[in-house]
Amino acid sequence: MATPHIACEPGDIASLVLMPGDPKRAERIARTRMDGARLVSDVRGIGAWTGTIDGIPVTAMASGMGVPSLSIYATELYEQYGVDRICRVGTCGGISPKVAVRDVVVASSAHTSSKVSTIDLPGVTLSLAPSFDMLRGAVDHARSSGRSVHIGPVFTSDFFYSTRTDIIPALDKLGTLGVEMEAAGLYACALRAGREALAVLTVSDHLFDGSGDLTADERETLFAEALETGIAGLRA
Ligand SMILES: O=P(O)(O)O[C@H]1O[C@H](CO)[C@@H](O)[C@H]1O
Ligand SMILES: O=c1cc[nH]c(=O)[nH]1
């Protein structure tokens, strides 16, 4: 069996999936946090690695960047491969002054400029939120970890380079913690499939203070606490 974007048998994909944006981060998760990880699919440079984490079968597979790319992989995983839970382990830009670079943000909802919240039901804006059980599992882990973890809304943008930077202070005023490009798409895909999702993000840069921003290398490698928080969400 294969879909247009995943080439393996259904049994090759675990029912729990860790989904960073970056394919190199997926491979790093497989090599550093999984036992017996094997590459089960490799289409368009998006590798799917399946192994175990603390004895539990898990697949690590990247989404690529943006809602359209993520929606392809999440839809095929939920609808064709019977995946139950996907946890995005990504990065975001800090919006709130309460969050600092390297902090972890758990997205308890996702505002978006993407059509994904309005396209399915004319006249209705969908409320895009994570699975309560996954959120609770991640938050319980986060609160016991002693690290700086924030729980709240994020903004899923269609643009990394936006011309509408004027909306950022307004998003801050509404309590939005950070900006990224996939969480709302993932929550919408889970809603459509009747499955579960969560996004856990490492703050890689801050929109109001660029002095401590992570390098490209650090964006790929510095995600240990977000990963453990995400794993706790997947296992909850
Ligand atoms: O680090 P990832 O998970 O890719 O997440 C963020 O980084 C990318 C932009 O650089 C976008 O995908 C954004 O959502
Ligand atoms: O989408 C993103 C991700 C990280 N940092 C940003 O500023 N935007």
Task: Give the pLDDT of residue 56.
Answer: 98
CA distance 159 to 121: 24
- Closest-lying ligand to the alpha carbon of 62? 1
Per-residue pLDDT, 9: 94
Residue 57 pLDDT level (bands cut at 50, 70, 90): very high
Compute the distance between CA of residue 69 and CA of residue 67 in angstroms, rounded to an integer: 6
What percent of the chain is modeled with pLDDT above 70? 100
Q: Tell me, what's the pLDDT at 220?
A: 77
Of 154, 211, 217, 223, whose CA–CA distance to 186 is shortest?
154
Annotated catalytic residue within 22, 103, 172, 205: 205
Please tell me the predicted confidence (pLDDT) of residue 18: 98
3-state secondary structure at position 173? helix
Q: Shortest CA distance to 7 belongs to which of 57, 61, 55, 58?
A: 61
Average pLDDT (66-76) is 98
Annotation marks residue 158 as catalytic: no
**What are the pLDDT digits (tens) for 8-25?**
999 999 999 999 999 999
Confidence class for position 70, pLDDT limits 50, 70, 90: very high
State whether the beta carbon of 205 lies less than 6 angstroms from ligand 1: no
Task: Give the pLDDT of residue 4.
Answer: 95
Q: Which residue has a Cα nearest atom 8 of ligand 1? A: 65
Residue-wise pLDDT tens digits, 196-236: 999 999 999 999 988 888 898 888 788 899 999 999 999 99
Where are any strands of DSSP class E within 44-159? Answer: 46-53, 56-61, 85-94, 104-112, 149-156
Q: Which CATH code, of 3.40.50.1820, 3.40.630.30, 1.10.10.10, 3.40.50.1580, is assigned to 10-235?
A: 3.40.50.1580
**H-only helix segments in 55-122:** 67-79
Look at ligand 2, atom 5, and give the residue with the nearest C-alpha: 93
- For the chain, the average pLDDT equals 96
Q: Is 185 in the pocket of ligand 1 (CB under 6 A)?
A: no
Query: Per-residue pLDDT tens for 38-55?
Result: 999 999 999 999 999 999
Bridge partners, 210 (sequence order):
none
The two three-digit tokens of residue 66, written as one number:
């943006």
pLDDT the model gives residue 236:
96
Which pLDDT score is estimated for 218? 87
Ligand 2 atom with minimal separation from the 180 CA: 1
ipTM: 0.98
The reported pLDDT for the residue numbered 58 is: 98
Under 8 Å between Cβ of 227 and 33:
yes
